[in-house]
Structure 1
Amino acid sequence: MSALIMAVLLAALDQTIVSTALPAIASDVGGFAYIAWVSASYLLATTASTPLWGKLGDMFGRRRLYLVAMAVFLVASGLCGLAQDMIQLVAARSLQGLGGGGMLVLTFALVGDVAGPEDRSRYQGMFGGVYGVASILGPVLGGVFTDQLSWRWAFLINLPIGLVGLLLASRNLPAGAKRRTGPIDYLGATILAALSVCLVLIVSFGDQWGWISPRTIALAAAAVVLLLVLLPAERRAPEPVLPLPMLTTTTVSIAALVGFIANFAMFCVLVYLPTYLQVVHGVSATLSGVHMLPLVLGLVISQALAGRWTGRTGKWQLCLVAGMALNIVGLLLLATLSAHTSAWVLGLYFAVVGIGIGMVPMVIMAAVQNAVDPADLGAVSAMVTYSRSMGAAFGVAAFGAAFNHAFNPRLTTALNHSALPAEFDLTKTDTIASLSPAVKIPVLEAFSDTVAGTFLATVPLLVLGFVLTLFLATRRSAVPRRAEVKRNRARPYSLKG
């Protein structure tokens, strides 16, 4: 289990660890115009490769592919740390995302392999806690490495941890069953990857390019065409990378939508709460991580308890309903944020948000794994992981676009149409601190009010997710077959140790 935890830790950490290191990276290797691609390239490669990794794991056995994915990730991490210009770094980050996508989806599928249906929620909850904590702590660690050592250590730190994980995985992971019954669906994988790239590019750069710019419209049109081509291609494929009949399963389709919505809200919170703390409360990137500890603790505890409880009782629907309800309550609390919200009130709000976030993602994974044939564990794990990745990308982009749209008019009104100093930069807290009180107070109030309003605008989507879980709760839970439970318990390997 230690090897799988390390894999989830590293893959999740590298989604966010570079965010606080980007200015130092641009200063060191140049290419500031392409700085956004350092993050976007990793997300693109991770999202686009996830379905193929999952399907190949079903066909050839997951252990071998897991080791390949981890090796690719580690080699790419070394290349990132040694990059001499922006082109090299973006290329290495793409390769790193390719390996990271395989590590994530194959880890979750391996849990389905080695744990019986009654234990999957417990183990998935454990890995979900690691994923959430790594996503939160990534920017903090990136800031620490950049300030104390070098931005290169944000990547090089993966090597010693990853090598230990690779050694443990090679020794302890089961070989798993191989089930190659047809040719690899290269066509479907290529089309789905291209579709994913179009969607991620639109949500990542649409606000920068303009939502009705020719580039954005062309990508949207390409995405529609690719989707129309993908569906018949997957119907004809002997071993489709995206099994369409699986999408018609109520549990799988609704769970994928709920996973998208939950991660949409989760990454809005994880990305923009630290920004709120740094801008409005004037704390450093490192201290913003300390302020987020109630959220981290709530997430870890709720993940663990939800996993154990659903594993013991099988009532995963009730856990999802309660989790989505708490997500709604948490976002409504965050919608009351202001420039004067006290630290203890923030801690209470963050704890509620963390508990709600923790109760949903991995319970969904366990639910869909219990709803399909064991031979399709990789494909269904990839499907849920893919929907969650897309939810994260859409969430961060949509929140940013909504914030940018609302902030400038609100700031202009707050300042009574007065101009800000030329050196003012909202992303640099020292320029905010240098403002006179007469200007600083309206700026911080406009910022906090805009953040709160954008969190409030996210609530209707969570309400939709809540309604979907209610519908899901009307379906009969997948009860583990006695023979399958005995078969899993009789296997000569386990996740312990």
Structure 2
Amino acid sequence: MSIPNAQADRHPASSPGMGWGALLSGTNGVRSLALAGGVVLHAINIYIATTILPSVVQDIGGLDLYAWNTTVFVVASILGSALSAKLLQVAGPRGAYATGAVIFALGALICAVSPSMPVMLFGRLIQGLGGGFLFALAYAMIRVVFEPTLWPRAMALVSGMWGVATLVGPAVGGIFAELGIWRAAFWSLAPAALLFALLAAAVLPGRDAEPGRKSSIPFPQILLLVAAVLAISAGSTSPDLLRNVAGIVAAGLLSALLVLVERRAGKKLLPHGSLTPGTSIAALYATMCLLAVTVTSGEIFVPLFLQVLHQQPPLMAGYLAALMAAGWTIGSVTSSGVGGRSVGRMILAAPILQVTGMLVLAILAPRAGSGSWVELAPICVALVAIGLGVGLAWPHLLTGVLKAARPSEQELAGASITTVQLFATAIGAALAGMVVNAGGLIEPGGVAGTANAALWLFGAFALPPAIGLFTARRAARL
């Protein structure tokens, strides 16, 4: 991938010993622990929530708001991500991480006592704000605390924490769901978040290394970003086609206004050239979004489909759905050390694997069955392939953004990574909710409605990675 290295004058192009040992030992090891811990907390919560949501809906209702659990969480995470630079400036690394953890814990407690879905959504809003802080701080500090030669592995480590989440999240959510005490899953998150706050206080510096640097917040762009997501989400709660179209049109208009405001604004949301078609950085962001949208669409509803259509208990459904994240982790770790032309191959492989996986799911997932392993094995392979694709490309896409940004916009580039990823996740969740509701999840509902919804979901979301075939070629500079 031929991307100009904006920091080549700051560090040597290559250094001996810049492997996993250099990242995970000594001072770098302590830094890695601090950065990875917040992402683990954020990611585990996502898999707990997706695993227990079918049980939550059975208890307190709100099937029409099913996808909103993810949408609200991610929208709030966007706000937390955008505000993280200011929080870091005011409170320093130690205070910023501790603040994010405490807010996250408060949201978990609200979810634990929710008597209805609207209250649950409020708790998810608070959780998302704290999670956004933790998530953004991890990526933003990679370029500060590590040499560029360690960036791909640091990116892979942070991304790989989703693999840890696939082991812990579905287990916690699934066990509590099967025991009929789903609220205990949220109760367990609060002390975990507070323990992480103590860890951050122990290992991170009290103040920013560059206290004189001021960060600005592009509030108009952030508000338009959030409004666009909420417009689609509002349309997704109904199977009415007219309401769906109205939501998409409103989101399109708000997105166009966002582009106009961003181009004229003094305070930028994204680095220079990010919204200009044809630039390398625009291709990198576009590829990131298309890959992330595809993964999100599957992660939200796969547990529900597996339980209703393939007779899987909550614990097993949660673990099978987490195979996408496991594939993401395997791909990230495998590809993080490659260089040269292999980088381009990794990026181009991502949309190919995702298109293949989604088409296989569109054929097999809607077929209701007994849940035998003969039936589930190809579904599992497809789930792994979808995650593996994004994992192979992800460290190089993120590193490419940092290198393609202007030297004066390096901090902005670091913060923008999480903003773009979370925006894509929120859009994916909202569109997935719209597709399954229109496909029959609510009306007629039941096994037949769920099967039709699965067909429409996986068929429709094979389109984003298909488009990604073109943006990936530009991102990889093939």
- TM-score range, shorter-chain basis? 0.7 to 0.9
Match of 2:432, as an amino acid?
F
1:472 aligns with 2:475: yes
Question: Of 287, 290, 304, which aligns to 1:258?
Answer: 287
Match of 1:130, as an amino acid?
M
1:399 aligns with 2:432: yes
1:150 aligns with 2:177: no
Give the structure 1 partner of residue 158 of structure 2: 127
Contact persistence 1:125–1:362 (CA under 8 A)? yes
Percent identity, please.
24
Give the structure 2 partner of residue 362 of structure 1: 395
**Whole-angstrom distance in 1 between the partners of 2:431 and 2:306:** 20
Q: Secondary structure at the match of 2:336?
A: helix
Contact persistence 2:153–2:336 (CA under 8 A)? yes
Give the structure 2 partner of residue 106 of structure 1: 137
State TM-score, norm by structure 2. Answer: 0.77
Match of 2:378, as an amino acid?
V
Q: Secondary structure at the match of 1:177?
A: coil
- Please tell me the root mean square deviation across aligned C-alpha atoms, in Å: 3.9
Q: Secondary structure at the match of 2:363?
A: coil
1:34-53 alignment, distance < 5 Å: 38-53=69-84
Contact persistence 1:136–1:270 (CA under 8 A)? no
**Whole-angstrom distance in 1 between the partners of 2:305 and 2:111:** 29
1:244 offset after TM fit, Å? 4.6
Question: How many aligned positions are there?
Answer: 438
Contact persistence 1:198–1:219 (CA under 8 A)? no
Question: Of 400, 416, 420, which aligns to 1:387?
Answer: 420
Match of 2:159, as an amino acid?
G
After TM superposition, the structure 1 stretch with the greater mean CA deviation from structure 2, 331-340 or 266-275, is 331-340
Match of 1:362, as an amino acid?
P
1:463 aligns with 2:470: no
- 1:95–1:458 Cα change, 3 Å: closer
**Whole-angstrom distance in 2 between the partners of 1:180 and 1:62:** 14
**Whole-angstrom distance in 1 between the partners of 2:463 and 2:87:** 37
Contact persistence 2:402–2:414 (CA under 8 A)? yes
1:29 offset after TM fit, Å? 7.1
**Whole-angstrom distance in 1 between the partners of 2:93 and 2:246:** 39
Could you say which structure has the larger radius of gyration? 1
**Whole-angstrom distance in 1 between the partners of 2:262 and 2:382:** 47
Contact persistence 2:97–2:197 (CA under 8 A)? no
**Whole-angstrom distance in 1 between the partners of 2:78 and 2:270:** 14
1:334 aligns with 2:361: yes
**Whole-angstrom distance in 2 between the partners of 1:153 and 1:208:** 28
1:77 aligns with 2:80: no
Give the structure 2 partner of residue 348 of structure 1: 381
1:20 offset after TM fit, Å? 4.7
- 1:250–1:82 Cα change, 3 Å: same
1:369 offset after TM fit, Å? 1.8
Match of 1:456, as an amino acid?
G
**Whole-angstrom distance in 2 between the partners of 1:447 and 1:86:** 21
Give the structure 2 partner of residue 487 of structure 1: none
**Whole-angstrom distance in 2 between the partners of 1:322 and 1:218:** 33
Match of 1:254, as an amino acid?
A
Match of 1:342, as an amino acid?
E
Give the structure 2 partner of residue 417 of structure 1: none
Match of 1:327, as an amino acid?
Q
Q: Secondary structure at the match of 1:282?
A: coil
**Whole-angstrom distance in 2 between the partners of 1:114 and 1:28:** 46
Contact persistence 1:126–1:304 (CA under 8 A)? yes
- 1:374–1:291 Cα change, 3 Å: same
State TM-score, norm by structure 1. Answer: 0.74
**Whole-angstrom distance in 2 between the partners of 1:15 and 1:232:** 32
Q: Secondary structure at the match of 1:335?
A: helix
Match of 1:300, as an amino acid?
T
- 1:401–1:177 Cα change, 3 Å: same
1:126 offset after TM fit, Å? 2.2
Question: Of 445, 451, 458, which aligns to 2:454?
Answer: 451
**Whole-angstrom distance in 1 between the partners of 2:361 and 2:62:** 36
**Whole-angstrom distance in 2 between the partners of 1:39 and 1:342:** 28
1:265 offset after TM fit, Å? 0.8
Give the structure 1 partner of residue 226 of structure 2: 197
Contact persistence 1:256–1:383 (CA under 8 A)? no
1:292 offset after TM fit, Å? 4.7
Contact persistence 2:324–2:387 (CA under 8 A)? yes
**Whole-angstrom distance in 1 between the partners of 2:255 and 2:469:** 31
- State the Cα deviation string for residues 406-453 of structure 1 (Å, max 9, x = none): 458xx9xxxxxxxx9xxxx52xxxxx6xxxxxxxxxx4xx85566345
